[in-house]
Structure 1
Amino acid sequence: MRTVIDYLQKSVKCKKLIQKVLTHPFSFAIMPLIRGDRMLATDIMTKNFVCCSKHDTLHDVLPLFIRTHSNMLPVIDESNRLIGIITKNKIFKILTTQPSFDTTIAEYYHPNPIYLSPNATIEFTRQYLLKHKVGHAPVVNEEMVPIGVISTEQLLRSYNIVLSQFESQLALLFHNLNFGLLSIDTSFQINASNSLAHQLLNINENQLNAFRDHPELHLIRELIEEIVQERAKVAKKQITWNDLNLYVHCYPLHSHDELVGAMVILEDVTQIEQTINELQLTKEWEQKLRSVIEFAYDGIILVNKKAEITMVNKGFTDLFGLESKDLLQRSTTVLFPELAIENVIQSGISILNTPQIIAGQQSLISILPIKEKEETISAICKITYRGLPHLHEALTKVKKLEKQVSDYQNEINNMKGTKYTLFDIAGESEAIRKVKHEATLAAKSMSTVLIVGESGTGKELFAQGIHAASGQRGAFVQVNCAAIPSELLESEFFGYADGAFTGAKKGGMKGKFELAQNGTLFLDEIGDMSLPLQTKILRVLQEKEFQPIGSGVTIHLHTKIIAATNQNLEQLISEGKFRADLYYRLHIMRLNIPPLRERIEDLPDIIQSITNRLNQSGFYVKGVTHSALTKLMRHTWSGNVRELHNVLERAANIKTGDYIDADDLPTFQHETEEKALPQQIPSTYKDKILSTEKEMIITALKEAKGNKSKASQLLGISRPWLYAKMKKYQLE
């Protein structure tokens, strides 16, 4: 391995390979050693040392040298600052003169000695000691107080440590290179090889004669022969080995200008070739996609994550009267703000076939987010504006068939006492699909069900849906626990016999439990039930039987119990307002209905469902426009689906056209906040559109000489649409 490393360091031809080695992920471990950022004086100095004063006698100093292995002692003043040194050799010379042991060292120590900073590198320390021809020196801090002693012996020891660390780290790097590396001598024996080379060639580290013993490696051996026989200075070839595509490089290895072998580098380019093939395939599919989009009947654009147009077809440019070069890499937020494509990218929610007047033509807009690992990376927008009359005829026929199916379903539901099934709950988000699946499972048994959710989330719809999907032949009976006076709750639930109490109805009255026999009893707002009644309800659920008030007849219960609440029952239990045993009796199958803000992707489906119901109740609403849908999707819906239903019903009352438009909707709180902030509104189509919608309407009215029927024909829109737009732009 050392031969390979020496070659890497000396060979000019391998500069790129050296750079590749040094930029390898593991090279951070040896970079300090390669750059020279080595150990410091503070790392190797002796901290176990003693100091002396110039007033100390020979009798005081001699024992100090015995206590330390150093050949030098720092001399300090009263403030512990360095003022000089005295060496062991100096003491020996003094002793040869046979002086008195009470003699001080004041006239013998070396003043103004050389000294080192603790941050001095080993290389600087070595040069410094050589320059001053000394073998040791004190190390002092900023206040000139000695903190250690350093010697040439310690320097040598530190170099051994550095060398050992260097070899260890270099070996680690060598065996973790992202390419195979081998050193081969002139007799084709492997001197050194790393782990990846073993893996790529399917050999082990002990197979030193692999190139002589394995004929199948002949292609690599032929390259090595070119080097060791000095037929070439560099030999390269791409080969296929064990289903891998390898790129093999061979370079000569020299020692003292003598050829000693070859260095072999193995690069696995299998993945690279696969990537190239995938890129080629991607380009082919991109070309096919461009062809399909170009010949599409509708207007289509593709945008990136920033809502910048990356692809556009002729249908789109024809619609807006533009050229593709004026649109590519431009932001739709600036050019076409009414499309609101950036909202789809941010929310990841698809918009399908929402109507809107685009460039004076009635159109249907669809925007689909394109996702990768749950993250929206782009979107595709389709504007259908051709052949809409034929499409409307087909949709009308479909709606008639849907109405027939709906009528049949309503008849079936009426027989079971419900208006809704689980299929009537709109939405295909993961959250709502999970709850609908759990509701389907809950309908298969007689276990009690607890439905929890905010007000307006549709808890009653789920209760009716569970009953409709169950095998219960009896009725669906609903009780609002918050609406019945507390003094009537017991009689409402259990009924009463004839003459049970003063004012009792003649012949008695059946309670809710009896009315729901063989069916389902829905206890809405269960959290508002009084504690005494909770106790009696618990007993019925436990014993599966009850007696009407004033009657001795026991009625055995065969009823599915569904309870619902928008309150936190666990908190009511801790406050002593709800029985824990009743909670656990109800809490067998629990359904958590998500609020609308957590499944906003279901909004288009829910809106369609609500408009269908509005039409069944006497309204005429074809749907909502794209701008209206965009506005609705920006709202937080604290009142959930009930709030949405109220907003759409209000809009259905005041709309002027066939569709609910953004102007028919109320101003939500977030819009008020946005208007309060100063904003720079971008101009539509950015000087590329010849006229805005308002200007087109004005032009059509002028050409029609004020005749609104003729103007609507020129614009290709209905008269109600024209009236709505004239009202919007205050055109009289």
Structure 2
Amino acid sequence: MFISDLMNTDFICCSKNDKLGDVLPQFTKTNSNLLPVVDSSHKLIGIITKNKLFQLLSSRPSFNITIEKYCNFRPVFLHPTDAVEDARQLLLKHNIGHAPVVNHEMVPVGVMSTNELLSSYSMVYSQLTSVLEIAYDAIILVNKNAEISMVNKGFSDLFGLHRKDVLNKSTTELFPELEIENVIKTGISIDNVPHLIEGQQSLISIKPIKENGEIISAICKITYRGLTHLHDAITKVRKLEKQINDYQIKINEIKGTKYTLFDIAGESKVIQKVKNEAALAAKTMSTVLIIGESGTGKELFAQGIHAASGQMGPFIEVNCAAIPPELLESEFFGYADGAFTGAKKGGMKGKFELAQNGTIFLDEIGDMSLHLQTKILRVLQEKEFQPIGSSKTIHLNTKIIAATNQNIEKLVSEGKFREDLYYRLNIIRLNIPPLRERIEDLPDIIQAVVNRLNQNGFYIKGVTHLALTKLMKYKWPGNIRELQNVLKRAANLKSGDYIDAEHIPAFTDLQEDVVPVASSPLTYKERIKTTEKDMIIAALKEANGNKSKASQLLGISRPWLYAKLKKYNLE
């Protein structure tokens, strides 16, 4: 709603040279508490208020004096296209009850007061109430304390309650299963999440409402009527999505990748920024350095960049931490026939040659030896290399993407990583945010993981509302990889169509205040061990010490569990 919809157009203007005796009667002809003061071109230059004139009259002035001394020549003014809420904030900020409205030429076209604004809110409230009553779904509006301020008939019918029984009551006490307070606390929307309510299969959506960046309320909608038709429609949409996905898979197979940038789930500002940077990185042959904690999806970004690039060759990945140091050089550059004792007959192509006209992804680049770093630097500088034992020079036409979960600047300062190689790699840099810094993306990521599980033989209709809220309370030190493992385990444990809260491991409840991984003094390997130990302890606690049940909860074999119990002195 705009100011033009509410402003009072019945107003009178005056001039700064008008006499007091002429201006006073003008206020009796209008309902406004101010008169716009205009110049000879009828443009606004100030205002004169009724209160100011009344104060003046108490001093018994001459009615022949001009009003110029008593005008406000720095008035707050509005435009017809201003939003009502913006106007309300402006009037509150300046502690005034009225303001002139001017067009783009500064000519007054109306007057706006707080009375009109209050009237507009009453009208909006009335309209909102009417909309809620005719809505097909169950709807409630709550304040920032999760107390119900508005409820429709659909909601009353669903829960079998009278409106007076729920108004101004806390949803935390009356309807704890909705967990609306969690949405208010986190600011994360929930869209069409399945939940069983009063014996009826329902879909819950909860959206926070913000004002000036602060959450002031939330609206909860529960769809429980006509779900059969809705599920049929969703099934048709999923079939169409599968056809599109199959087509994309065929395209990806040609380029040697599984994923594109479109497969990176999430709409938060931080992840959108990185996806935009990745799309720009795909348009050039410049080297790309991807920095991020383990499990954040660095390889997915690398594949997405290759899929979006003009490189029609394959995507070749090399895990620098997984190849024995003595084999790294031959793995990268290949070797000629008879290059050394034990060499494969006919020689072998290295990763760089295999990635010709494509992309080579150097994962865990921080674990590369200084000796090999020197050779890699030479390849980047000269754009050519020779296989071991060969005089043949291969000219490189390959896009290079490197990634690490380590603090590479620290490695450089400690002399463990060549500074010149660092600068060569760090042309375009992508900093992948950890999951805990984009927790609002969790529902989208969960749906993406569920879709992939379904493509791999599982049948999951979705994640229930209780399971989702349980997952949202966890800090995810292992990032998306940990989330994938949790959901895969839950998919194996579930007996129905949905992953429910009971299928989510208990350790997610124990980590609400986990110290972020980035601030932990532990090494990556130590963090992995700590997380693994905590998971085992939590599973044993949930299983009341029953090791067979604990191994089932963890999705591992009993011998493996016994070995870990011994390793961590948990026997």
Could you state the TM-score of these two structures normalised by the residue count of structure 1? Answer: 0.59
Matches within 5 A, 1:635-654: 635-654=474-493
SS of the aligned residue for 1:371 comes to: strand
Matches within 5 A, 1:610-649: 610-649=449-488
Q: Is 1:497 matched with 2:302?
A: no
**Contact 1:246/1:269, CA 8 A, preserved across alignment:** no
| 2:470/2:508 contact within 8 Å kept | no
Asked whether the 8 Å contact 2:321–2:367 carries over to 1, the reply is yes
Report the secondary structure of 2:216's partner residue: strand
Instruction: Determine if the alignment matches structure 1 residue 270 to structure 2 residue 73.
Output: no
| 1:565 counterpart = 2:404 | yes
CA contact (8 A) 2:97 2:114 kept: no
Counterpart of 2:229 (choices 390, 412, 418) is: 390
User: SS state of the match for residue 607, structure 1?
Assistant: helix
2:35 maps to amino acid: T
Q: Distance in 2 between matches of 1:673 and 1:223?
A: 66
The reply to whether residue 357 of structure 1 matches residue 196 of structure 2 is yes
Give the structure, 1 or 2, with the largest relative contact order (CA under 8 Å, sep 6 or more): 2
Query: What's the counterpart of residue 246 of structure 1?
Result: 49
Aligned to 2:218: 379
2:264 matched to which residue of 1? Answer: 425
Change (3 A) 1:389 1:499: same
Structure 1 residue corresponding to 2:315, chosen from 454, 476, 485: 476
Q: Residue 275 of structure 1: CA displacement?
A: 2.1
Q: State the SS of the aligned residue for 1:378.
A: strand
Counterpart CA distance in 1 for 2:424 and 2:18 is 78
Q: Do the aligned partners of 1:223 and 1:250 also contact (CA within 8 Å) in 2? A: no
- Give the whole-Å Cα distance in 1 for the aligned partners of 2:186 and 2:485: 24
Indicate if the aligned counterparts of 2:474 and 2:511 stay in contact, CA closer than 8 A.
no
Q: Map 1:276-315; keep pairs closer than 5 Å.
A: 276-315=115-154
For 1:673 and 1:451, the matched residues in 2 are separated by: 28
List alignment gaps of at least 5 residues for structure 2: 1-12, 38-43, 73-95, 100-110, 514-571
Taking structure 1 as reference, are residues 551 and 238 closer, same or farther at Cα in structure 2, changes over 3 Å only? closer
Q: 1:250 to 1:605 in 2, by over 3 A?
A: closer
Distance 2:15 2:319 in 1: 76
Superposition deviation, residue 343 in structure 1:
0.6
Residues 1:444 and 2:239 aligned together: no
SS at match of 2:54: strand
Deviations 1:674-706 (A, max 9, x none): 9xxxxxxxxxxxxxxxxxxxxxxxxxxxxxxxx
Q: Which has the larger radius of gyration?
A: 1
Show the counterpart of 1:408: 247
| 3-state secondary structure, aligned to 1:668 | helix
In structure 1, C-alpha distance between the alignment counterparts of 2:114 and 2:507, rounded to whole Å: 50
Instruction: Name which of 656, 663, 672 aligns with 2:502.
Output: 663
Give the Å deviation of 1:252: 5.7
Indicate the SS of the match to 1:441.
Answer: helix
Percentage identity across aligned positions? 68
Cα deviations across residues 56-91 of structure 1 (Å, max 9, x unaligned)? xxxxxxxxxxxxxxxxxxxxxxxxxxxxxxxxxxxx
Q: CA deviation at 1:656?
A: 1.4
- Correspondent of 2:444 among 605, 616, 622: 605
**Structure 1 residue 668 displacement after superposition:** 2.1
Q: 1:370 to 1:563 in 2, by over 3 A?
A: same
SS of aligned partner of 2:466: helix
Aligned-residue CA RMSD (Å): 2.4
Which residue of 169, 172, 175 maps to 1:330? Answer: 169
User: What are the within-5 Å matches in structure 2 for residues 82-481 of structure 1?
Assistant: 203=16, 214-215=17-18, 218-220=21-23, 240-242=35-37, 244=47, 246-247=49-50, 248-249=53-54, 270-271=98-99, 273-481=112-320
Letter matched to residue 194 of structure 2? P
Contact kept? 1:249, 1:266, Cα under 8 Å:
no
Match of 2:434 in 1: 595
Q: Distance in 2 between matches of 1:339 and 1:616?
A: 30
Runs of 4+ deviating beyond 6 Å: 221-224, 262-268
Supply the AA of the counterpart residue of 2:363.
D
Gaps of 5+ in 1: 1-199, 204-213, 225-235, 675-732
Do the aligned partners of residues 343 and 215 (structure 1) sit closer, same or farther apart at CA in structure 2, a change above 3 Å counting? closer
Deviation at 1:237, TM superposition (A): 9.6
Q: 1:237 to 1:643 in 2, by over 3 A?
A: closer
Matches of 1:611 and 1:468 in 2, distance apart? 23
Is 1:539 paired with 2:384?
A: no
Q: In the superposition, relative to structure 1, how do residues 253 and 431 fare at CA in structure 2: closer, same or farther (>3 Å)?
A: closer
Distance in 1 (alpha carbons) for counterparts of 2:443 and 2:236: 21
Counterpart-to-counterpart distance in 1, 2:220 and 2:113: 32
Give the SS at the match of 1:390. Answer: helix
Distance 1:295 1:410, change over 3 A: same
1:452 aligned partner, one-letter code? I
Q: In the TM superposition, what is the alpha-carbon distance from 1:670 to its structure 2 partner?
A: 3.9
CA distance in 1, matches of 2:305, 2:18: 74
Letter in 1 for 2:244: V
Task: Please tell me whether the aligned partners of residues 547 and 553 of structure 1 are also in contact (alpha carbons under 8 angstroms).
Answer: yes
Distance 1:237 1:286 in 2: 25
CA change 1:448–1:238 in 2 (3 A) is closer
Taking the aligned partners of 2:221 and 2:98, their CA distance within structure 1 comes to 40
Letter of the 2:54 partner, please give it. H
Q: Alpha-carbon deviations, 1:269-321, whole Å to 9, x = none?
A: 53394322122112111111111111000000001111111110000000000
Q: SS of 2:113's equivalent? A: helix
Q: Which residue of 2 aligns with 1:528?
A: 367
Q: CA 1:238–1:539 in structure 2 vs 1: closer, same or farther (change >3 Å)?
A: closer
The Cα shift of 1:238 comes to 5.3
Q: Displacement of 1:364 after TM fit?
A: 0.3
CA distance in 2, matches of 1:240, 1:252: 17
